[in-house]
Chains A and B, each alone.
Chain A
């Protein structure tokens, strides 16, 4: 079974600064998807960014980017120019290709301080 590990239970960052959230995963698969989801206090699960394993280029969505290291099985999320609205739980998730079974890490609680 695939496992996803987020080693940082909590992190904080000053507004306008950059923060990186870590995620590692364990799999024997070659084809899969990786995601970062954000869960603000409203509890809605919001997709932040996604990466397909066969793509070497790191995904970018505005202030959010990932560092995908397939060999190291690492998938970190970088948030640039942090905003107060970025305060939330962030979950890393792994989804094996053609398998309806997305697995989540334990989450990192990020607080952006003014």
Chain B
């Protein structure tokens, strides 16, 4: 059983389109995250959700919106895609007390053409 699964693994789309990336965790964790990894491999947190409440929103364009239908899911919706949005997006989850760190999904490579 995959602990944190995200789909799709690869996404190629044209500028201006709207797309979503889905994430599900079956670990019973209470917090989920979205990270962006750029071409230089730098990982930056975008959002985190705890019990369906947004608790961090870094300086991310409002074209990006996280949607959490329940504690096990945190989807990322992106409007009006731009070339600079091309990156790998990781979903992750954790327990409130986190000596065990975060568990990551396998990533979605988004390419905007």
Dominant SS among interface residues on chain A: strand
Chain B 37-52 interface residues, beta-carbon cutoff 8 Å to A: 40-45, 48, 50
Chain A 29-57 interface residues, beta-carbon cutoff 8 Å to B: 33, 35, 37, 39, 42-45, 47, 50, 52
Q: How many residues on the B side are at the interface (Cβ–Cβ under 8 A)?
A: 28
Q: How many residues on the A side are at the interface (Cβ–Cβ under 8 A)?
A: 24
Residue of B31, B90, B94, B102 with highest tally of chain A CB at under 10 A: B102
**B residues at A contact (CB < 8 Å):** 31, 33, 40-45, 48, 50, 55-56, 88, 90, 92, 94, 96-104, 106-107, 109
A and B contact pairs by CB, cutoff 8 A, 23 listed: A33-B98, A37-B101, A42-B106, A43-B106, A45-B107, A47-B101, A47-B102, A50-B101, A91-B43, A95-B98, A95-B101, A100-B48, A100-B55, A100-B94, A101-B48, A102-B33, A102-B101, A104-B42, A104-B43, A106-B41, A107-B41, A107-B42, A107-B43
**A residues at B contact (CB < 8 Å):** 33, 35, 37, 39, 42-45, 47, 50, 52, 89, 91, 93, 95, 98, 100-104, 106-107, 109
